Each structure stands twice: as structure tokens, then as C-alpha cells.
Structure 1
């Protein structure tokens, strides 16, 4: 996880707001409809929320292909079907139907035909042909059980011919649909303004008559029916809930019902239509087909209902289609209203807030994690949110789906772009600058800490590490160039691996020398401790190489390491055209001098007092001396790290104790006793041998009173 700064927070908020606002804006309102389509498809696929058609309060009587192909309708114009329609409607009414609605419009009567027929017109010779039909309409209408349909239009309205309107006492309601900008029907009008007053749409009128209630319009503009506040995301519309994908609407073939009338089976009409809302409409393959929210899942033209008189025609199993017959749109509205099951959509403010919130979650992930991880978070979050949306849609609540998904995807891409162009520029620079000479784990630490090295230099408290091979020049003279390169590559690689694994940064190689620092460029509060630990490991590793590696055989390499801690300037230093990340200060010079001072004392590692002090009690030490190095007037107390605290050997502890006693006697000017103390380990400890010799010399020739126990080194 990357460190998030104030600029990132501002960018996150802006990206989420902009993405959410764009994808819920009016120009992209088709996304709201697409959400309904996807939710309908997912619910149908995952939940399979099917209902028993027998429980449906609405049924469809279909003038279908079978009707057109069966006598007496086969080959005859539909204007001649009115008598049979009247007979079927009468039987349906006697069967107990609550109300019948027409989704077909007979604009003309055959009695109005002007086709010449002998000395008069064809229509004149058929006067009275529609009498029985009109009587049936009047009788059913008088019982309040019939509503004819019409299409309202300023240019070309479709209305029943005048005699029908008179027969039903103008009980005619509009069949107009509400089409979204993408030509898909997802909502249906509730009412239409006719002569300045609201008149219910066909489906609302049928539901009102079935429930025995009248539609009511609240002061807020919401429409209510029988205590049900109809949800309306778009004013004066109801959002359709195709819960059964059309298969929950029983469908009767009109020609079979006509044959049933001939058969005189009143019980069938009672079983089929008692207490039902009946819609009469056409179901044909190429006429009055509507795209609805079922266009992605596929819808069905109802479920074939029980037959009465005619055998079912041999036909392939019904398949889902992207469009459905228009009569099922009205049937769905009726069922939604009666069962209080219309879809509730969130209004614009809530959709926008939810979209922005989801985008904000994803953009936060994109800001905090790597792009691949953020993409996985987006996929997982989208899947979880989709599952929640489908669960809500089972209960007729439509949460926005496409808007949050697309807005979050756009936010994800925007944040990745922002990071690439702006936020991660320093990180990329850091990785590129240090990739070849800094351990990957150190780079990751720097990136995670967010503390980048300042261009031009900055003050850091660091520990400098200087190492050099002893007498390597003379050894190199005895080797071929190939052998020398192999030896140095193995040595430097081994030492570098140890230094970098302890958080150190190798500044440069100078021949067989290594210059490294701890505490920069990665900020490391334990830099002194890590530097000492690395020095001990390097010393042990060289012993292993001398013992086991073929390239080191016979050379017995030894090295000297100097450590010093303090303030130093670190940064990119050099010319305008070429620079290097390096370090400069007196801290560096002292570490270099301590490396060289090892040869005077016969030690392998020497550290300054400041380094020793910053390691706490992590190591066992012995104080070597107080020295004045070349180029520095102030004395420096120097120490030798022996091992990790508690890990020193018995010989090391014995030598350190004798050396400490001798050093105390030396500084007290008791040179004879100092010589005795140093002499205890002089045979095995070069530093003790050096001080024993010096103590004996001073015992024989004491120094003047102003002498101080400080060793001034003349060389490097």
C-alpha cells in the first residue's frame, strides 16, 4: 500500500465527484434504463423469480396466428369478426371476469364499406351486421366491465368507430406507451391530460375497476390506487416489473374460445376468467412488437393456457425473444398495480450520491494499491454490489447498476492516469535512479515511507561504512587479469549483498574498497546498529570465502572496516549534466581514517564512539584507544565490536577484560601495571601487544606532565 498525501486526497475527491456527476447526468440517462434491463436479466437468470400463471389476476385473450389460420376467420377481414368477438366477450363476462380491456382498435365497421356492390355499396347491403356486437358492448359496459382502447395523437389518432364509442358510453382509455430515448419501454404512463383533466391510462383504468377504487393524485403529484402509492421515478409513470418475464400471464387463443362458445362450455369460462382482468389483444410475430426491459433476458408472449375445444396446434416450444407483444406490456402494468409490485427507482439525487460513493471507494483503492490490485478490487466490489442490487431488485427496488459500475471504472482509469502522470513520478524517479545500486527492499522502504531524497542534498544522520582489503596490491600482482576479476566480483558481490540486506546503500567501489552508508537514502533509525551488524557479517563471510571458495584459495584475504556515525549531506551531487547520489561531510572522512587505523591496532573493525553510542546495548564492545586522525584536531575514542550482545566467546571476553584493565592503567600513567595487563593477551591479540610495547617504553622513559593519552596517527 502506497502512502497517500494531501494532494492524493484532493485528487480522489475530485475524480469521484466528476465521474459520478458525468455518468448520472441527463445526456447519459439511458444508463438508468440499461440498469433496469441488466437487473431484469440477472434476476431472471440467477434468481429465477417465476410465479404460477394460475395466480395471475390478469389474463390475455390473444388474436393470434392460430386465429388467422382457422375458420371462420381464415381469409376473412377482421371487420367481419365483430359478431364472434361479441359472443366471446359475453361468455367471458358471464364467466365472472372483473373487467375487459381492448388492446385492439376497430377503427372501421364493415357497414361503412364504400365498395360498390350491384346498385349500392357493400356496406349498405350489410346494415345491422354489427348490431349484436354493439349490443354486447353496451351490456358489458353497463355492468362496468368493459374499456375500449385508443391511441392518442395530434396527427393520426386511432380510435374505435363512433358506434362503438356510443355503445360503451365513451369508456375509452389511451393505450399510448412511454418510450425511453433508446426506444425501449420501461415505464408506462399513468394518465393523460384530455380536455384539461387527467384521464387514467388503459392499464390504470383496468386495475382501478378490478380493485373497486379510483386513482387519486396527491398534492405531491404522486398517484395512488387502493392505498398503494405508485412509485414514479419519471413523473406520471410507473416502472414495469417483468418479474415472470411474461411467462406469468396465462394466454388464451381467441379461436379456441370461439369454439368453446359453440361448444357451450360455460364451466370453462368460469374456471378461466372468474375474478380476472381480461385483455384482448393481438399476438403476432411481426405486428405490435415492443422492446422492453426484457430485451436482454428475453421475454415470452405469455404462457399458453388450458384449452377448451380445439387441440393445441403443433408448434415448436416457445422461445424467449427480445421483443414481446404489446398486450403483455399493459398486462404487466395491471398486475404490478393490483399486486403493489411496481419497481421503485431511486431519484436523481440518491442515484448520484450512490454513484459517487461507489466511485470514491474504487478511486481510493486505485490511489492506495497497485493498478492490478485496484482492478481486482473493482471487479470484486462490482460483483458484490451487483449481487446486492439483484437482491434488492427481487423486492422491486432498482438500485443503479451501470452508473456506479462505469463511473467507478472511469474513476479507476483516471486515478491510475493521475498516478502515472503526477503522483508516482517521484516514485518512478526513485526506482529508476537507485535500481542498479540499491537493494529492492530498501527502495520499497523508501517508497513506503514517502521520504524521498531531496535533489541537491539534505542533512541526514547516517553511519558511514568504509572497507579495504589488506595488502591487496601485492596479491593482485601474482594473479592473471581473469583471476583478479573473478576474485573481486565474488568478494564485492558477497559484501554488497550483506550491506544491502541490512539496509545499507553502496555509494561506490574504489578498486577493492567499498564505501557505503546506512540511514540514507532510506530513512533508518537503527542505521548504526545495522551498520555494525553488517560489518560483523562481512568479516565472517570473508572467513567463509577464504575457507571454501576456489577463487580465494591460497590468498588468505583480510580486510579492514571503519564505521562512523554523524550528520552528513546526502543527495544528488555532481555537475549539471551528470550527478550521483552520494555523501559528503567530516563524518565520511573520519570513517575513512578509522578504516586505515585498524592496521595500527591489528583489528578488522573499528567504530567511533558515536557509532557505539547509537547501537545501545546490542553488541559487546571493547574500547581500543583515543586517537587523533590525520586532518582532524579533536581526539576520537574508538571501539571494536566483538559480537552480538551475549554471543561473544570466552576468549573475547577474557581479552576485553585484560585490555580494559590495561587501558585504565595506561590512562592513569601507571605504565608498569598497564604493561602487565596488556601482556596477558599479547600473544593472541595484536592490539594488546601494541599497547604492552608502548607501556613498557613509557615506563622506562616517562612522558612529560602535560602528556595526554591520545594516539596521533601520522598516516591514513
Structure 2
């Protein structure tokens, strides 16, 4: 995870505001509708959204394909169906329907036909044809149960012919729908301004008559019905809630009901229509089809209702379609109003705020995380948001869905682009420029701070690691320059891998020498232990190289370790500097590396290093030495193995050497020589002390002698 600066915060906020504003703006208003479509489909897919059609307060009488194929309607024009429609409407009123609405319009009558028929127009010969129909309309209207439909238009309005208008005494309401820019019906108008007055739409009028309450239509577009405040994200509209994907509204075939009237089964009409709102409309496969919020879920033209007289067709069960018959749009409005179940949408301000908030979260995640992880965070957040949105939509609340998804994606893309072009430009420069010169930890520190390297340092407790190849000059004399470079690259690469794998930082290479630091630049409380483990591992790795590479001819190296306070940081001139370490601690480590040749050892550590390693290793104290350039003597040790991994020979050597060293310091040189002689054949330091003890046993030192070995060389 990268750091984040003030510039990044400003960029994330600007990107979130921009993405949120764009995707909730008016030119992209179709995204709001698409959210409703997707939520409707997801609700239908993941939740049991079916409702009992028998409990529906509204039913549909459908002039369907069956009607067109059934006598006496088969092959006859719809203008002459009015008598049969009147008979069915009368039966429905007698059955106890609360309100009846017409989603069909008869703009003319056969009585008005001017088609020549003999020596007179057809209309003259058909006078009185609609009399029974008009009487049925008048009776239903006088009972306060009938509302005819009309289509309002400034160009060509579609209204019932004059005789019907007189029969229903003006009980006519508009059937107009509200179509979004993508030709999808998602919201329905609640009222229309007619001659300066707000007149309820057809569905609102039917619901108000059924509920026995007049709609309250305010000038600002808000509305209420029977105590239900109709939610309106857009003034004077209701957002359709298609629960049950349209299957929760019973559909009666007009042909069957006409046959039921012929049969005289009034009881069927009472069972089917008592207390219901009834809408008469067409439900054909190819006419008056509407795209609604069901277009992605797949909607149905209601549920086939019980039959009265005609047998049900033996055809296939109706399949879901992207469009539904227009009459079911009005039926949905009626049911939403009567059950107080319209969809509540967030207004523009809240929708924009939510979209900006989600875009902001994604923008900050894209700023902090790598692109791949940022996209995973985006997918996770969108999954959570979608789950919440669908859960709330089950309760009728519609959160924006497509706007946050697209705004979040845009925010992620813009922030990743910003990072690549602007924010991470310096980081890429630092990594590219210093990758081969500085430790990864140093580079990460510079990237995190957002600052270029500068002069400066701090005191820190560290362990310094010095290594050098033994007899390098003689090795170099036997090789060509190319062979020598290949050998050194192989050796230095192998040792560097070991050092860095244990948390060390390679400060520099000096010819065949390696200078490394543990405990800087990244603080490490176990730096001493890690340095000792590294030294042991470097010995083991060199043994592998000697066995497996022909170019290595039994190479040996010496390692010096020392722990103490040192200055670490960027040290050098104002124009050129390195991240390095400086102090007497460094000098002592260098001297201990060289001191290995006096004892014929590979690794030598100071008592300060040993003190910080606790009991993690098996140590052998070699001697007390005074290195060149330092007046104070220090005790030096050799690590034999990790505690618990030592061999019996190593344990025996450590014990015998310690006993001999005790005799040596007690001036009992003969006993010391005897102890060291037992180990001299297999242990070079013991052989060295055996010779020195033998000499001092023969020629005892003066009384002021101190058991300190002064090393003159480096």
C-alpha cells in the first residue's frame, strides 16, 4: 500500500466530484431508469416476488387474441362490439365492482358511418345500434363506477365519441403515459392540467373511487391519496413497482365473460368482481405493447383468471416478454396506489451525493492500492452496494445502481491514470534510478515519504558485516580479466542474496569485499542475530559454490561482525552521496574481518554482538584482542553453529578451548598448552594457542603481562 499526500487527496476528491456529477447529470438520465430495470430483474431473480393474484384489488378484462378468434367477434369490426361490451359491463357492475375503467377508446360509432349502403349511408340504417351500450354506460356512470379513457394531445386527441361523453356525464380521464428518453415506461403521471385544473389520471381516478377518497394534488407536483403520500422523485409522477413481474393481476378473457353473460351466471361475476377495480383493455400479442421496468426481468400479461363458460385454450403457457400489454401498466398503478406500494426513488441531490461518495471511496482505494487490488476493491464495494440496493428495493426503496457502478469505474480509471501520469512519476523515477544502487528498503522509504534523497543521518544501534576473500590477489593473478569479473559477479551475487534474505542492507562493494548493515535502513530489533545467521549462511553458500562451480577453486572468505551505535543516512557531498554507515563500530568490524587470518577462522564477532544474541548460537571465545587504531581491548568470538544444531565435535572443541583459555589467562601455560594440544590437529585456533602457550611456558612473561593479543595489521 502506497502513501497518500495532500495532492493525492485533492485529486481523489476532484475525480469523485467529476465522476459523480457526470453520471447523474441530465444527459445521462437514462442511467437512473436503467437502475430501476436492473433492480427489478435482480429482485425477481433472487427473491420470491410472487403475490397471490386472487388478492389483487384490480383485475383486467382483456380483449385478447381469443376474443378476436371467438364468435360472434371473429371477423367482425370492433365498432359493432359495443352491444356486447355494454352487456358485460352491466354484469360486472351487478357483480359488485367498485370502479370500472376503459383502456379502450371508441372515437366513433357505426351509427356515424357514411359508407354507402344501398340508397343511404350505412350509419342511417344502423340508427339505435349503440342504444343498449350507451344505456349500460349511463347506468354504470350514475352509480359512480365508470370512467372512460381518452388520450390527450395538442395535435390529434383521441376521445370517445360525443354520445358516450354525454352518457357518462364527463367521467372521462386521460390514459396518457410518461415515456423516458429510451422509450421505456417507468413512471406514470398522476394528473393533467385541463382548462387550468389538475385532473387525475385514469388510474388515480379508479383508485380514489375504490378507496372512497379524493386525491390531494398540490401545485408543486406532490400528491396523496387516502393518507398515502405518493413518493415522487419527479413531480406529479408515480414510479411503478412491478412486483410479481405482472403475474399478480388476474386477466379475464372478454370472450369468456360475454359467453358467461349468455349463460346467465351472475354468481360468477359476483365471485370475480365484487369489491374490485376493473380495467377493460386490449391484451394482444402484437398491439399496444409497452416497454417497462420489466424489460430485463421478463414480464407477463397478468395471470389467467378462472373461466366461466368457454374452455381454456390448450396452447402453451404464456412466456415472459420484454414488453407487456398497456392495460397492465394502468393496473399496476392502481394496485401501487391502493396498497401504498409505489417505488420510492432518491431525489437528485441524494442520488448525486451517494454516487459521489462511492466514487470517492473507489478513488481513494485506487490511490492507495495497486491497480489490480484497486479493481478488486471496486468489485467488492459494488457487490456490497448492489446487495444493499436489491434488499432495499424489496421494500420499495430504489437506490441508484448504474450511476455508482459507472462513476466508480470511471473514478478508478481516472485515479489510476493520474497515478501513472503524475503521482507515480517520481516513484518510477526513484525506483528506476536507484534500483541498482540502493537497498529496496531505502527506495521504499523515499517513495513513502515522497521526498528525493537528501543529506542527513541519525544514530542507531546496528550490526556491521564485513567480508573479504582470502588470498584474492593470488587468485586474480591466475585469471584473465573476463574470468575474474565473472567469478566476482557470481560470488558477490550469491553473498548479496544471502544478506538481503536475512534483512541486511548491502552498503557497498570494495573490490572483493562486502560491507553490509543490519538494523538499517529498516529498524530490526534482532539485527545482531540476523547478522550472525547471515555469516553462517554465507559460509554454507560458499561451500556450495566451491563444490558445484568449476570456476571456484576452494575459495575462502573472512567475515567480521560488530554491534554498536553508528550514524546511518545519506552521507557525502551536496552533489553526490550514498546511504551508508559511519562510526567506530564500522572500523572495529573491519578490523575483526582482518583478524580472522591470525586465528585461521572464517567468522569473528565482537563481544557486543554476542551480548545481543542471547542463547541463540553456540559461541567459542577466541581471545581478547587490541585491534589497530583502538586502545581498548575487546573479547572476540567465533560462532560455531545455531543453538541445538551443533555437532558433538563442535561442542567438544568449544569446551576444550574454553578450558585452555582459562589456564592461559591464569598464567598456567603448561596446562593451557596441554588442553590446546588435544585439539590442535583439527582446530587451527587451538594449534595457534598451543604454540604460544608452549613458548610462554618455556619463557614466562613478566609480572605485568596481560592476556591481550595486540594485532598490528588490518
Task: Give the alignment's TM-score, normalised by structure 1.
Answer: 0.84
Structure-to-structure mapping, 1:473-492, within 5 angstroms: 473-474=473-474, 492=492
Equivalent-residue separation in structure 1 for 2:43 and 2:55 (angstroms): 20
Q: How far 1:434 moved relative to its partner?
A: 6.9
How far does residue 187 in structure 1 lie from its aligned partner after superposition? Answer: 1.0
Note the C-alpha offset of 1:499: 1.6
Kindly provide the CA deviation profile for residues 303-355 of structure 1, in whole angstroms up to 9, marking residues without a partner as x: 23333333445644422222211111001111111222211222334333433
Cα distance per residue 1:631-663 (max 9 Å; x no partner): x57667463243578668353255346547756
Aligned CA distance change for structure 1 residues 23 and 643 (closer, same or farther; 3 Å): farther
2:588, 2:627 within 8 Å by CA — same for their partners in 1? no
| Separation of aligned partners in 1, 2:583 and 2:395 | 76
Q: 1:642 is matched with which residue?
A: 639
1:77-117 deviation digits (Å, cap 9, x = unpaired)? 33332222212211111122111101111222233334455
Between the aligned partners of 1:572 and 1:8, the Cα distance in structure 2 is 31
Q: Residue 49 of structure 1 corresponds to which residue in structure 2?
A: 49
2:657 paired residue number: 655
Distance 1:575 1:448, change over 3 A: closer
- Which position in structure 2 is the counterpart of 1:215? 215
Residue 487 of structure 1 contacts residue 551 of structure 1 at CA under 8 Å; is this kept in 2?
no
- Higher mean displacement: 285-294 or 368-377: 368-377
Match of 1:560 among 554, 558, 561: 558
d(CA) in 1 for partners of 2:708, 2:350: 83
Distance 1:12 1:676 in 2: 80
SS in 2 for 1:245: helix
Of the structure 1 ranges 398-407 and 687-696, higher mean CA displacement relative to structure 2 is found in: 687-696
Distance of 2:430 and 2:698 partners within structure 1: 57
The answer on whether the counterparts of 1:39 and 1:389 sit within 8 Å (CA) in structure 2 is: yes
Unmatched runs of 5 consecutive residues or more in structure 2? none
* Contact 2:673 2:691 (8 Å CA) reproduced: no
Q: How many residues align?
A: 697
Contact map agreement 2:620 2:657 (CA 8 A) in 1:
no
Within 5 Å, give how 1:206-605 maps onto structure 2.
206-217=206-217, 222-313=222-313, 315-425=315-425, 428=428, 432=432, 446=444, 450=448, 455=453, 458-459=456-457, 461=460, 462-474=462-474, 492=492, 494-507=494-507, 512-542=512-542, 551=550, 557-564=555-562, 566-568=565-567, 583=580, 585=582, 591-605=589-603
**Shift of residue 220, structure 1, vs aligned partner:** 8.1
Q: Helix, strand or coil: the match of 1:537?
A: helix
| 2:664 and 2:707 in contact (8 A); partners too | no
Shift in CA distance, 329/573, structure 1 to aligned 2, threshold 3 Å = farther
Cα shift readout 1:148-182 (whole Å, capped 9, x = no counterpart): 11122233222222221221111111111122222
Stretch of structure 1 that moved more, 183-192 or 619-628: 619-628
Q: CA RMSD in A?
A: 4.1
**Structure 2: distance between partners of 1:176 and 1:626:** 105
Where 1:596 maps in the other structure, the secondary structure is helix
Distance 1:309 1:708 in 2: 125
Inter-partner Cα distance in structure 2 for 1:424 and 1:652 = 55
- Is the alpha carbon distance of 1:675 and 1:433 closer, same or farther for their aligned partners in structure 2, counting shifts above 3 Å? farther
The aligned residue for residue 87 of structure 1 is 87
Task: Provide the secondary structure at the position in 2 that maps to 1:280.
Answer: strand
Please state whether the residue corresponding to 1:229 is helix, strand or coil.
Answer: strand
Q: 3-state DSSP class of the match of 2:245? A: coil
Counterparts of 2:499 and 2:208 in 1: how far apart (Å)?
Answer: 86
Distance 1:243 1:97 in 2: 23
| Equivalent residue, structure 2, for 1:193 | 193
Partners of 1:154 and 1:589 lie apart in 2 by: 99
Q: Is the 8 A contact 1:468 1:595 kept in 2?
A: yes
Residues 674, 475 of structure 1: alpha-carbon distance in 2 compared, 3 angstrom cutoff: farther
Gaps of 5+ in 1: 666-672
Q: 1:152-171 counterparts in 2 under 5 A? A: 152-171=152-171
- Indicate the SS of the match to 1:468: strand
In structure 1, distance between residues paired with 2:622 and 2:366: 54
Deviation per residue, 1:434-457 (Å, 9 max, x gap) = 767899xx6599479946895355
CA shift, 1:48, in A, is 4.1
- In 1, the alpha carbon distance for the partners of 2:120 and 2:339 equals 54
Instruction: Give, in angstroms, the shift of residue 271 of structure 1.
Output: 2.6
Deviation of 1:586 after TM superposition, in Å, equals: 5.5
Query: Aligned equivalents of 1:270 and 1:207: distance in 2?
Result: 20
1:141 aligns with: 141
Look up the SS of the partner of 1:244 in the other structure: helix
Q: 1:103 to 1:646 in 2, by over 3 A?
A: closer
Query: Aligned equivalents of 2:554 and 2:426: distance in 1?
Result: 45
Q: Is the 2:656–2:676 Cα contact (8 Å) retained in structure 1?
A: no
Change (3 A) 1:21 1:643: farther
After TM superposition, the score normalised by the length of structure 2 is 0.84
Separation in 2 of the partners of 1:242 and 1:436? 65
The C-alpha deviation readout for 1:359-394, integer Å capped at 9, x for no partner, is 444445444444333333333333343233223222
* Further displaced range: 53-62 or 687-696: 687-696
Q: SS of the counterpart of 2:124?
A: helix
Name 2:710's counterpart in structure 1: 711
Determine if contact 1:99/1:144 at 8 Å carries over to the other structure.
yes
Q: Is the 8 A contact 1:532 1:641 kept in 2?
A: no
* CA 353–662 in structure 1, closer or farther in 2 if over 3 Å, else same: farther
Deviation at residue 596 of structure 1 after TM alignment? 2.0
Distance 1:22 1:157 in 2: 38
Contact (CA 8 Å) 1:66, 1:255: kept in 2 or not?
Answer: yes
Partner SS for 1:262: helix
Shift of 1:36: 0.8
Q: Tell whether the 8 Å contact from 1:658 to 1:677 is kept in structure 2 after alignment.
A: yes
Secondary structure of 1:51 counterpart: coil
Further displaced range: 73-82 or 283-292: 73-82
| Conservation of the 8 A alpha-carbon contact between 1:454 and 1:571 | no
Q: CA deviation at 1:203?
A: 0.5
Shift of 1:431: 5.5
Asked if structure 2 preserves the Cα contact closer than 8 Å seen for 1:99 and 1:209, the reply is: yes
Identify the range of structure 1 (61-70 vs 442-451) with the bigger mean alpha-carbon deviation: 442-451
The alignment partner of 1:297 has SS state of coil
